[in-house]
Amino acid sequence: MKYNLLGNTGLKVSELCLGTMTFGGKGRFQVIGNLGQEPVDQLMKRAIDGGINFIDTANVYSEGMSEELTGQSIRNLGLHRDDLILATKVRGKMGEKPNDSGLTRKHIIQQAEASLRRLQVDYIDLYQIHSYDPLTPFEETLAALDQLVSSGKVRYIGASNLAAWQLMKALDYSHYNKLPKFVSLQAYYTIAGRDLERELVPLMLHEKVGLLVWSPLAGGLLSGKYTRDKEKEADGRRANFDFPPVNRERTFDIVDQLQPMAKSKGTTVAGLAIAWLLHQPVVTSVIIGANKMDQLDDNLKSIDLSFTAEEMEQLNKVSALPVEYPGWMLEFTGADRK
């Protein structure tokens, strides 16, 4: 396992991160997974034994059950808290009252305390806003996160699912007001969905913000279960939860390229899809989730996979984004400065 620095910090996180969305199975997350304590303990142990030191959860996953199961698993397995990098999130709806969601000072502080109780720890390594809150000024959100860092309850702060302008606005505000900065962005990125490369990747590279990838297999479409001819016959997550949105024609063109590569390398389409992400300079860690041990084992093997220059060119070509403005204009006008 390789360990990468988390953004512009000295904190080392494993290049694969164990995602816990399959833990619990309560509420709207039932369609993703419903693992109880025993299988959670088994997956956690396998992940740690495989070199993973980074675990990602969120307060909204199974209405808090994911955090509870994760925290209990750490105790059940006798894991040393300080050897782990625990990440969780705040923003989503955690009740029916008017202030039970969002990024207000009230909700952030309240939910941080609740997450600490559920995880059975006294600090969170990486506390992330789960998305943008159009009702709460960034000033209030960042001040509340600063309060958590100053109190020692949070070590680093991160963001998730932000537009480039939102991330840059937050980074600038933190810089000029001497507040903790977002050190990472957790975002959707996959060989089947490279939209992030238009605005966010250049920003993150320039500002040294780490990238934590969620849904590296495009919601299961790159799991190996789906092909152009058998899409509707396959079972799995996509059969019950058709998310995130994906250009299917382009995805199946990519699968057509990955299948012979996987066969020649003695691996799987899923393993190669994760390996492609690990070859992208902007990626800090890829979040992998699993319902079964064989899924986790397959994902763990991706760290040992490599591509030839020709194979990378082939994959980059088949998965390339359509050209859009202002990208094509900036490339045209910048030709004389290369």
**Looking at the chain, how many residues does it have?**
338
Residue 188 annotated to the active site: no
C-alpha–C-alpha distance, residues 20 and 41, integer Å: 12
Non-local (6+) Cβ contacts of 254 within 8 A are: 191, 192, 222, 315, 318, 319
The position carrying tokens 């509340």 is 144
Amino acid in position 10: G
Non-local (6+) Cβ contacts of 158 within 8 A are: 87, 126, 127, 128, 129, 182, 183, 184, 185, 186, 210, 212
- DSSP assignment of 250-303 equals HHHHHHHHHHHHHHHHTS-HHHHHHHHHHTSTTEEEEEE--SSHHHHHHHHGGG
Catalytic residue among 3, 61, 176, 226: 61
The set of catalytic residues is 61
